[in-house]
Amino acid sequence: MDILAKYDSLAERREIMLQAGDNPFGLRMEKVLSPTDALVNGKRTLLVGTNNYLGLTFDPDCIAAGIKALQEQGTGTTGSRIANGSYALHEELEEALGRYLKRDHTIVWPTGYQANLGVIAGLAGPGDTILLDADSHSSIYDGCRLSGATLIRFRHNDPEDLDKRLARLRRQKEAGSPDAQGAVLVIVEGIYSMLGDIAPLEAFVEVKDRHGAFLLVDEAHSLGVMGETGRGVAEAQGVEAQVDFIAGTFSKSLGAIGGFGASNHPYFERLRYCSRPYMFTASASPASIATVTAAVKRIEEEPGLIRKLWQNAEALHGGLSEKGFEIASPVSPVVAVRLPDEKTAVAFWNALLQAGIYVNLAVPPGTPNNICLMRCSVSAAHTLEQIERVVQTFVDVREALKAGAAAGN
Amino acid sequence: MSDSQTGSGEQPIYEQVYELLQHYNREGRELRPETDLNAELNIDSVAAMDLIMEIEDKYDIDIPINLVADLRTVQDLVTTVRKQQGAA
């Protein structure tokens, strides 16, 4: 048997998708022109699916910081921080992030994916139990598996279901079950990437405190987005002190690549010599690190970016709702439009691209409850005219597909 | 097959699990203890997660997802329910 034959059915599904037009899961952007525009198939295309929430990818300060680091400190670090040491740049970023997040300890990883792996597998181990939200990102699932802990899913955004499961676990512990004696870690996200729905953190912290569990919140899509100063959903809901650990990424609102974990736990720094995804990977390159430090400064200095982002989010959410589209969640910078099935979603995605709008096609198993989505992510860099164009193009595409279906195409 | 797998206490659980599985049994196959969840009922890893949650709700138990990869047949499911009921 061929070693890759196990993917035959997935490959067939992909082939069908490709026959309908461009590749939704591997689109080539010939040239990215700005935070909101790129050349795709030789055509200027409006980007509405890049998670570039604050539009900082072309920020002059961030670019200047990156160029300076590249010129002065070279292209790469060529090794891990435990083997080759840290650059002052890594530590400066950790200090800047810690100050911004008001956390005593911050650790940086080369990608957001690795940050979740490193934080989760660093915190929990065999004998511990992790309770994770059922709709968690794959990096959370993978980090959980790497940890060796017992893994229990609870219903998405459902503090009552978490409460029930923590109570069961406590009963097992009190009954002396050897599997229930370790530490308990609860993991949720701030904003969920596919539907853009927000965690009820206030209720979650009440539950986890009552049961003596630790809480990790992944603020990947909410850092720089939620809360008055952009510190995330925990800031927005006033529960930062009760959130034990946060994880996040630099590849969304901060416009770069990398990730972090942060905490006030006095022993958090132990992860630097106990967490394999931290120890056995090369550290992020100087230019990349320097742009993130500059981006953190930009968010601190210009809270107007967050307000602009929300204005745009409200405009897109409101505009599409008004035109009768079904949006998966209340307003957030992720505006996910629900479509009836995969065939319609693929056709819709291709038609939008041909009309010069790039969004994300999201289909099962990447989405919860088998739903199909045109997932838009809004940026502070979008103009209101661009948002209006997106809404109008959605309407036009819907009409065109309806006409095509009526004509039997 | 050990006694714990065939004990009379399991019969109602089998019936209840069969009932839960009907939703996934699109081809209307006859359900038996040895029915393969993936090969015969097309329950993939994602659908298995949903099924597990339904079973957890029904029996007021937790089934750690570390165990899911080992749940191949209906009998494996029932055995796990019994084991987790003991743990709860």
- Residue B88's pLDDT band (cuts 50, 70, 90): low
Beta bridge partners of A152: A131
Say yes or no for a CB contact (<8 Å) between A179 and B65.
no
* Distance of residue A129 Cα from the nearest chain B Cα, in angstroms: 9
Query: Which stretches of B1-88 are DSSP H helices?
Result: 3-6, 11-21, 45-59, 74-87
* Marked catalytic residue, from A137, A156, A252, A317: A252
Cβ <8 Å between B87 and A172: yes
Residues B73, B31: Cα–Cα separation, whole Å: 10
Chain B residue numbers with beta carbons less than 8 Å from the beta carbon of A171 are 88
Q: Is the peptide bond before A266 cis (omega within 30 degrees of 0)?
A: no
A151 min Cα distance to partner chain B (Å): 5
Residues in chain B: 88
The more confidently predicted of residues B2 and A131 is A131
* Pick among 3.30.750.24, 3.40.50.280, 1.10.1740.10, 1.10.1200.10: CATH of B9-87: 1.10.1200.10
Active site annotation includes A317: no
Number of neighbours of residue B69 by Cβ within 10 angstroms: 9
Min distance B42 CA to chain A CA atoms (Å): 12
pTM of the model: 0.95
Q: Show pLDDT as tens, one digit a residue, over chain A (409 residues).
A: 999 999 998 999 999 999 989 999 989 999 999 999 999 999 999 999 999 999 999 999 999 999 999 999 999 999 999 999 999 999 999 999 999 999 999 999 999 999 999 999 999 999 999 999 999 999 999 999 999 999 999 999 999 999 999 999 999 999 999 989 999 999 999 999 999 999 999 999 999 999 999 999 999 999 999 999 999 999 999 999 999 999 999 999 999 999 999 999 999 999 999 999 999 999 999 999 999 999 999 999 999 999 999 999 999 999 999 999 999 999 999 999 999 999 999 999 999 999 999 999 999 988 988 899 999 999 999 999 999 999 999 999 999 999 988 887 6
**B60, B62, B88: residue with CB nearest A152:** B62
Q: Which fold has domain A59-301?
A: Aspartate Aminotransferase; domain 2 (3.40.640)
**Cβ atoms of residues A258 and A284 within 8 Å:** yes
**In this complex, do B87 and A177 lie within 8 Å of one another by their Cβ atoms?**
yes
With CA atoms as reference, the chain B residue closest to A131 would be: B64
Those residues of chain B whose CB sits closer than 8 Å to some CB in chain A are: 44, 46, 49, 52-53, 60-62, 64-66, 87-88
Cβ contact B64–A365 (<8 Å) = no
Task: Give the nearest chain A residue to B84 (CA atoms).
Answer: A172
| Shortest Cα–Cα distance, A196 to chain B (Å) | 21
DSSP string, A204-234: HHHHHHHTT-EEEEE-TTTTTTSSTTS--HH
Task: Point out the catalytic residue in the list A90, A105, A208, A221.
Answer: A221
Active-site residue flag, A193: yes
CA distances to A35, A88, A112, A302, A396 from A299, rounded to whole Å, are 16, 22, 19, 5, 36
To the query of whether residue A221 is one of the catalytic residues in this protein, the response is yes
Domain boundaries, chain A: 5-57+303-406, 59-301
Tell me which of A193, A251, A377, A379 is the catalytic residue. Answer: A193
Nearest CA in chain B to A154: B53
A322 φ/ψ angles, rounded to the nearest 5 degrees: -60, -35
- Domains of chain B, residue spans: 9-87
In chain A, whose CA is at the least distance from the CA of B86?
Answer: A172
Partners of B65 on chain A (C-beta within 8 Å) are: 151-153
**How far off is chain A from B31, nearest CA to CA, in Å?**
25
Topology, domain A5-57+303-406? Aspartate Aminotransferase, domain 1 (3.90.1150)
